[in-house]
Amino acid sequence: MVETRRRVLWADDNESRLSTESEYLKQYLRSEGIEAEVEFAADGNEAFRKASSGAAFDAIVVDLDLPGFPGLDAVRALIERGLGARTIIVSGMLQYADYRDAAVRLAADIAGVFDIDNRKGWSEAIRSLLGRSTVNLLHLSDAHFGVRHAFRNPGEKRSRKPTLAESIEPLLRRVMQNLPPDLVVVTGDMTSEGAFHEFGQALDFFDWVGTHLKLARSSFVFTPGNHDVYRPMEQGRRFDRYLEFLRNFFVAAPMCMPRVARGGGETRSAAEVIDLRVEHSLGLVIGALNSVVDDGAHWDTGRIDESQLLGVEGQLDDLRDVERDFLRIAAFHHPLFPVPLGRADDEEPTLGNGGLVGRSLSGMGFRVVLHGHTHYPALYIHHARYVHRCPGEEYRSMLVGAAGSLGGAHANPAQPALSFSVVSITREGLVGDSARVLFHPYVLPGDQSGWRALPPLTSTI
């Protein structure tokens, strides 16, 4: 593993104060056993440019009284860039009501707000960020809002069932206390038939999840499922409603959606739906792929075509040097290969070209795969070992996790429960792809007697 030097970016145009406070910070961190480098930025533009450069700062400290690009605007830009979780406001301007009120409104999306004189508060907050080595991913899949939904759909008045939000809210509070998520990965089938009102219900639910977890919408990653881009629908319109969902969800963070959705045009190929997200504050690269490509078989099966794999490979080649050392995680809907459902004659439909996809992802350095479609949680190892391989190519095992079904109603005896998972990844620092992974599944039994945690599964990559 590559050792990480803890790095702090501090934006303040008062050189004397910056020198004094940064020296205090380094001495405090040294007393805590942490060696840190503090890099300075004199204005908001410089701070945003450095933070967005892929330099992997563990903490970003911003004063509000900055020339040029104001501090508040810089913080908002950092939040939109997905760096809010590593950003702390430290400023003497909080004594003024307008600055204080504006900072408080941003507090839910950043790591803290402190007066410059509160050395104990901001130094401990920075210490917490620099010492953090675990990233928690909330993995949700197969909610199936609409006709296949196991709960009361929002707006239904005759049903006595709770809504999904009502059912899961007490458990989310526990998750927030014990395993606070840094990122939410949704691997498809948010809807039953890709209808407009179903996507509307999904948008409201995931917005509610973000609010309860104190996560900005930029902390969500989505992939389509076969029900979201309903195959019986005419081919030219299959992705339109899904892309409209992304535009509505990421309206304040357009860089978090695939390029085709940002442009507002219609899709011309499945490869346009892919999204490669670089999470600098978490040291992750997330490849969100589209497995809903017609392979000529039953509409329930899937495929990730070579154009997508080549597209991902090209985007990986464009990563900056530090970003190349980030842990790589792939997310899509269908499983790589058939996984038994518990009966010898039954297995979940899978990718029609899972062998090629597994080998390609392993060769591109992906170490974790998250998928949906299987309506129960599972964790397994994909071994990519070949007798014959191209010179210079390296294939490594990947950890594969299935979230199960968050809300799909199916009369399948092999699916006794609804489920989701939290994937905890522990590393020595922000870079390097060796990690200890804990897979925490949560299930709701078929009698809906209450969500409960199952024993976690552990693996090392």
What is the structure's pLDDT at 345? Answer: 45
Same domain, 127 and 268: no
Same domain, 59 and 207: no
Find the CATH number of the domain harbouring 441: 3.60.21.10
If you average pLDDT over every residue of the chain, what do you get?
A: 83
What is the structure's pLDDT at 219? Answer: 92
Residue whose entry in the numeric block shows the structure tokens 């919408």? 217
85 part of a folded domain: yes
Same domain, 206 and 246: yes
What letter would DSSP give residue 350?
-
Same domain, 101 and 217: no
CA gap 295, 232 in Å, rounded: 14
* Structural domain harbouring 277: 134-460
What is the structure's pLDDT at 343? Answer: 45
CA gap 130, 150 in Å, rounded: 42
260 part of a folded domain: yes
1 part of a folded domain: no
Least confident among 25-34, 127-136, 212-221: 127-136
163 part of a folded domain: yes
Same domain, 157 and 120: no
**Tens of pLDDT along 307-345?**
889 989 998 998 876 677 789 999 999 998 776 555 444
pLDDT(1) > 80: no
Quote the radius of gyration of the chain (alpha carbons, Å).
Answer: 23
Same domain, 113 and 56: yes
**Tens of pLDDT along 143-163?**
999 988 988 887 776 666 789
pLDDT(231) > 70: no
Q: Which two tokens stand for residue 194?
A: 């890709």
Q: Looking at the 3D structure of the chain, how many domains does it have?
A: 2
Q: Domain boundary at 131, 164, 190, which?
A: 131
Q: Which two tokens stand for residue 178?
A: 């014990």
Same domain, 179 and 252: yes
Same domain, 99 and 170: no
**Tens of pLDDT along 198-221?**
999 999 999 999 999 989 999 999
Q: Which two tokens stand for residue 28?
A: 């405090």
Residue whose entry in the numeric block shows the structure tokens 């809907």? 333
235 part of a folded domain: yes
19 HSE (CA, 13 A, CB side): 2
Q: Domain boundary at 77, 96, 131, which?
A: 131
Same domain, 123 and 189: no
Strands (DSSP E) found in 92-232: 112-115, 134-140, 183-187, 220-223
Same domain, 100 and 148: no
* Strand duo 284-288 + 275-279: pairing: antiparallel
pLDDT(390) > 60: no
Same domain, 208 and 162: yes
183 part of a folded domain: yes
Find the CATH number of the domain harbouring 30: 3.40.50.2300
* Strand duo 112-115 + 59-62: pairing: unpaired
Ordered DSSP codes for 75-108: HHHHHHTT-GGGEEEEEGGGGSHHHHHHHHHHGG
CA gap 303, 53 in Å, rounded: 34
Q: Domain boundary at 104, 131, 158, which?
A: 131
**Tens of pLDDT along 173-193?**
988 878 889 999 999 999 998
Same domain, 63 and 120: yes
